């Protein structure tokens, strides 16, 4: 191991690209559940679902074990089956596409807009076939997609509009909260996301039938849960379809409730950090923040910059890491992973904008606990390293 240079480490620890914000109230909320009768499938699940639904304005929220389970559950709810197609952006995390494969369907990869890296509505139409059933829009980095334009396309082709909102909890599109913009919206509460339950997920919808179908699916396809049977004094239950154990525990829901209260403050801080970065990079020609469209409130799960072609991104990543700044790359286009090349015959050249962007993007440290001093350090070190890695 080489001893890292101490540029970013005057306070000891390296600066990660993302991390959770946990306070005493969070800890106490968890401890309280640990002492209660219900560790899972108890009252905290409903309480968290209701508070989450209210915070987004959606009619229903269904808690799930993680964001991937949330995506899987949405695909089941809209009835994706063998050989049916769902259009997904190439610039996303693998789970956005994998959830289609879990149901026996095929993800069809769509390219993104070069400035925002959001799915390009114009490129969806040509990918639609008689087997296409839905579009999954990913609010990349935390910026809500252009849902008006997406809805036009999905209405024209009679498709479900589904949101992978794992980055954008707390964001808004034209004053409408994320969670109400698509037929179904999924969220993740992984520690690097905008709020956390350790592992965790949620789906919001206005459709009561979807909500009821998702509650069964997360509980083995069984019509009632343990607590409902207990309160009715009955042991009898029926499994009406194949489901999974995709449940979220009461321990996690208590943490979620406590985190949800702080979400508006978390988002405000993320936006403040983004503004500090934006201001600094305005004068640095080689570093261009991803474009933010007017009329959105960006939730800034990630702060992504595009580097000039004359910079070697991979070297920049490595040198920053040596100086204690742990950046990341979101993402390698999903269609280029060996699994999809092998099983879905995807190939380079299929989504040229995503492929070329993925060589030049870098996600800088972004989380509410980042101090102003640390942000200035990131900017200074980045500026210095850029001078060193010009090719």
Ligand X SMILES: *Cc1c(COP(=O)(O)O)cnc(C)c1O
Dist. CA 133–CA 270, nearest whole Å = 35
Burial grade of 360 (CB within 10 A; 0-12, 13-18, 19 or more): middle
Dist. CA 57–CA 176, nearest whole Å = 9
User: How far apart are CB 188 and ligand X at their closest, in Å?
Assistant: 3
**Residues 59-98 interacting with ligand X (rule: CB under 6 A):** 66-68, 92-93, 95-96
**Residues 355-374 interacting with ligand X (rule: CB under 6 A):** none
Kindly state the greatest CA–CA separation across the chain: 72
- Give the range of 36-44, 159-167, 278-286, 332-340 binding ligand X by CB under 6 A: 159-167
User: How far apart are CB 68 and ligand X at their closest, in Å?
Assistant: 3
Residue 163 DSSP label: E
From 53, 166, 178, 319, residue interacting with ligand X (rule: CB under 6 A): 166
- Give the range of 163-171, 256-264, 333-341, 352-360 binding ligand X by CB under 6 A: 163-171
Burial grade of 210 (CB within 10 A; 0-12, 13-18, 19 or more): buried
Q: Would you say 121 and 152 are in contact if contact means Cβ atoms under 8 Å apart?
A: yes
From 97, 100, 128, 138, residue interacting with ligand X (rule: CB under 6 A): 138
If one asks whether residue 113 binds ligand X (CB under 6 A), the answer comes out as: no
Distance between first and last Cα of the chain: 27
User: How far apart are CB 259 and ligand X at their closest, in Å?
Assistant: 14
If one asks whether residue 194 binds ligand X (CB under 6 A), the answer comes out as: no
If one asks whether residue 201 binds ligand X (CB under 6 A), the answer comes out as: yes
Give the closest residue to 136 by CA, choosing from 158, 163, 110.
163
From 164, 183, 225, 355, residue interacting with ligand X (rule: CB under 6 A): 164
User: How far apart are CB 208 and ligand X at their closest, in Å?
Assistant: 25
Residue that the structure tokens 């396309």 belong to: 153
Nearer of residues 160 and 190 to ligand X, judged by Cβ: 190
Q: Which two tokens stand for residue 206?
A: 């206005």
CA angle 30, 191, 205 (to 5 degrees): 85
Size of the site for ligand X (CB under 6 A): 14
Q: Would you say 144 and 182 are in contact if contact means Cβ atoms under 8 Å apart?
A: no
Nearer of residues 164 and 374 to ligand X, judged by Cβ: 164
User: How far apart are CB 330 and ligand X at their closest, in Å?
Assistant: 8
Q: By three-state DSSP, how is residue 187 classified?
A: strand
Nearer of residues 63 and 379 to ligand X, judged by Cβ: 63
Nearer of residues 41 and 66 to ligand X, judged by Cβ: 66
Give the closest residue to 154 by CA, choosing from 179, 137, 173.
137
Dist. CA 268–CA 368, nearest whole Å = 9
User: How far apart are CB 190 and ligand X at their closest, in Å?
Assistant: 4
Nearer of residues 214 and 311 to ligand X, judged by Cβ: 214
Dist. CA 217–CA 93, nearest whole Å = 23
Q: What is the CB neighbour count within 10 angstroms for residue 127? A: 15
Measured from each CB, the residue nearest to ligand X is 67
Nearer of residues 65 and 346 to ligand X, judged by Cβ: 65
Beta-bridged to residue 303, according to DSSP, are 364
| Known catalytic membership, residue 193 | yes
Nearer of residues 189 and 277 to ligand X, judged by Cβ: 189
User: How far apart are CB 71 and ligand X at their closest, in Å?
Assistant: 6
Cα dihedral angle (231, 205, 135, 91), rounded to 10 degrees?
-90
**Residues 114-133 interacting with ligand X (rule: CB under 6 A):** none
Question: Which one of 123, 193, 261, 272 is the catalytic residue?
Answer: 193
Q: Which two tokens stand for residue 178?
A: 């994320």
Nearer of residues 93 and 217 to ligand X, judged by Cβ: 93
User: How far apart are CB 89 and ligand X at their closest, in Å?
Assistant: 9
From 44, 76, 167, 215, residue interacting with ligand X (rule: CB under 6 A): 167
Dist. CA 176–CA 58, nearest whole Å = 10
Q: Show which residues are catalytic.
A: 193
Residue ranges binding ligand X (CB under 6 A): 66-68, 92-93, 95-96, 138, 164, 166-167, 188, 190, 201
């Amino acid at each position: 191991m080489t001893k890292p240079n101490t540029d970013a480490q005057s306070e000891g620890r390296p600066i990660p690209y993302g991390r959770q914000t946990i306070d005493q109230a969070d800890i106490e909320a968890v401890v309280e559940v640990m002492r209660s009768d219900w560790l899972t499938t108890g009252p905290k699940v409903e309480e968290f679902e209701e508070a989450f639904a209210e915070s987004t304005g959606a009619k229903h929220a269904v808690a799930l074990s993680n964001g991937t389970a949330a995506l899987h559950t949405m695909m089941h709810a809209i009835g994706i089956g063998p050989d049916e197609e769902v259009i997904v952006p190439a610039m996303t995390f693998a789970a956005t596409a994998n959830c289609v494969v879990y149901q026996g369907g095929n993800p069809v990869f769509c390219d993104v807009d070069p400035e925002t890296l959001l799915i390009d509505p114009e490129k969806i139409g040509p990918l639609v076939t008689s087997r296409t059933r839905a579009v999954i829009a990913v609010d990349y980095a935390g910026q809500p997609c252009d849902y008006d334009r997406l809805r036009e396309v999905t209405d024209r082709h009679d498709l479900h509009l589904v949101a992978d909102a794992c980055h954008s909890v707390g964001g808004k599109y034209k004053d409408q909260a994320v969670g109400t913009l698509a037929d179904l919206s999924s969220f993740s509460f992984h520690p690097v996301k905008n709020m956390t339950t350790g592992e965790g997920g949620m789906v919001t919808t206005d459709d009561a039938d979807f909500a009821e179908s998702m509650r069964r699916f997360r509980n083995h396809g069984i019509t009632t849960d343990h607590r409902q049977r207990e309160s009715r004094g009955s042991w009898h239950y029926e499994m009406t379809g194949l489901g999974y154990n995709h449940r979220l525990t009461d321990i996690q829901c208590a943490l979620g409730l406590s985190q949800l209260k702080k979400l508006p403050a978390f988002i405000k801080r993320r936006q403040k950090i983004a503004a500090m970065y934006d201001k600094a990079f305005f004068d640095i020609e080689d570093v261009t923040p991803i474009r933010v469209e007017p009329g959105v409130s960006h939730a800034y799960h990630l702060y992504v910059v595009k580097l000039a072609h004359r910079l070697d991104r991979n070297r920049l990543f490595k040198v920053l890491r040596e100086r204690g700044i742990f950046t990341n790359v979101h993402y390698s286009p999903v269609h280029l992973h060996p699994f999809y090349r092998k099983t879905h015959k995807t190939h380079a050249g299929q989504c040229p904008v995503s492929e070329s962007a993925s060589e030049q993007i870098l996600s800088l440290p972004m989380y509410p606990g980042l101090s102003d001093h640390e942000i200035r350090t990131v900017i200074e070190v980045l500026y210095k390293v850029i001078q060193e890695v010009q090719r």
